[in-house]
Structure 1
Amino acid sequence: MAFTADIRTRDTSVFQRIERAVDAYISKRALRASYRQTVHELKALSDHDLNDLGIARQDIPAVARKSVGL
């Protein structure tokens, strides 16, 4: 029976993990900013315009989340 040792070095340093965490945070912040902007713009529309788009006023947060991928 042969024995092999699988020694793997971690290819991610602490700095790379921190960089990934910061990138994820920045991406999430950008998504939230896009969500807030979308909600703001939809709320500025009249009920008639929202109706033309097929959006009920109470559905604005859900539509905004879906549009930005949250």
Structure 2
Amino acid sequence: MFDTVVRKYSTWVKYRRTIDELSRLSSRELSDLGIHRNDIKFVARRSAV
């Protein structure tokens, strides 16, 4: 059970870190990566799994 809590927390931290890093990029930089600003949460969710 404790293992599950740690895993969920680690996943959440990775998700938040990805959102924070992508949000700091300009729209031009995101476009170069093929990401639109409204796709950031989707990309973060996929990277956290």
Task: Give the TM interval when normalised to the shorter protein.
Answer: over 0.9
Q: Which has the higher helix share?
A: 2
TM-score by length of 2: 0.97
Runs (4 or more) in structure 1 with deviation over 4 Å come to none
Q: Following the alignment from structure 1 to structure 2, what is the Cα–Cα distance between the partners of residues 67 and 27?
A: 14
% identical aligned pairs: 43
SS in structure 1 of the partner of residue 35 of structure 2: coil
* Cα RMSD after superposing both structures: 0.4
Aligned-residue offset at 1:31: 0.5
Aligned-residue offset at 1:68: 1.2
Q: Following the alignment from structure 1 to structure 2, what is the Cα–Cα distance between the partners of residues 22 and 64?
A: 24
Q: Which has the higher contact order (CA 8 A, sep 6+)?
A: 2
One-letter amino acid matched to 1:41? E
Structure 2, unmatched stretches of 5+, are none
SS in structure 1 of the partner of residue 22 of structure 2: helix
Q: Following the alignment from structure 2 to structure 1, what is the Cα–Cα distance between the partners of residues 31 and 20?
A: 17
Partner of 1:56: 36
Structure 1, unmatched stretches of 5+, are 1-20
TM-score by length of 1: 0.69
Q: Following the alignment from structure 2 to structure 1, what is the Cα–Cα distance between the partners of residues 17 and 47?
A: 11
